[in-house]
C-alpha cells in the first residue's frame, strides 16, 4: 500500500503545482519541478516523528500539511504541503516507520546525554 499526492494550491485545493509526493512501504519521495525535476528520497525507517497541521483555509478545502522529522543528513525535515488525505498519510507514516525500524532492528539514536560518563571512568582503580 502507498499514497501518491500532489501539492495543491491553498485556494480551492486545486492541484496546479509541480510537486508530487509518493509514500511507499519503504521510501518517501518528494518530486519537484517541471523543466528541472529534483527528487528527494528518504527511507521510512529514518522518520523519527511526524506532525500534522491544518490551517483554517486548509481545513475548509480538506487539505493538511505533514512535517516529517528525519535522521536524514541532507533534509532533516520533509514537508508534504497542502495535501489531501493528510491524516491518513500521517497515520500510515507513523505505523510504517515503526515497522521498518523493527524490521531493520534499528533504534532512534537520539542524543539524550550521558549524564557524566567522565566521572565513571575516574572511579575505576587500576
CA 45 and chain centroid, separation:
10
User: Where do the structural domains in the chain lie, given as residue ranges?
Assistant: 3-104
Judge: domain 3-104, CATH 2.30.29.30: yes
- Please tell me the distance from the alpha carbon of residue 96 to that of residue 2, in angstroms, as a whole number: 10
User: pTM of this prediction?
Assistant: 0.75
Cβ atoms of 60 and 8 within 8 Å: the answer is no
- Please tell me the distance from the alpha carbon of residue 32 to that of residue 15, in angstroms, as a whole number: 13
- Please tell me the distance from the alpha carbon of residue 86 to that of residue 96, in angstroms, as a whole number: 15
Q: Whose grid coordinates read 505533514?
A: 66
Per-residue pLDDT of the chain (126 residues; tens, 9 = 90+): 678 888 887 766 777 788 999 999 999 999 999 899 999 999 999 999 999 999 999 999 999 999 999 988 888 999 999 999 999 999 999 999 999 988 887 655 554 455 544 444 444 454
Amino acid at each position: 500500500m502507498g499514497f501518491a499526492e500532489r501539492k495543491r494550491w491553498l485556494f480551492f485545493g486545486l492541484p496546479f503545482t509541480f510537486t508530487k509526493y509518493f509514500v511507499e512501504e519503504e521510501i518517501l519521495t518528494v518530486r519537484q519541478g517541471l523543466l528541472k525535476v529534483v527528487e528527494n528520497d528518504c527511507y521510512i525507517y529514518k522518520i523519527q516523528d511526524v506532525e500534522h497541521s491544518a490551517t483554517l483555509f486548509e481545513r475548509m478545502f480538506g487539505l493538511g500539511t505533514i512535517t516529517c522529522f528525519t535522521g536524514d543528513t541532507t533534509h532533516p525535515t520533509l514537508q508534504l504541503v497542502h495535501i489531501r488525505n493528510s491524516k491518513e498519510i500521517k497515520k500510515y507514516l507513523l505505523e510504517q516507520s515503526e515497522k521498518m525500524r523493527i524490521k531493520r532492528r534499528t533504534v532512534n539514536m537520539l542524543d539524550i546525554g550521558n549524564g557524566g560518563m567522565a566521572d565513571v571512568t575516574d572511579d575505576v582503580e587500576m
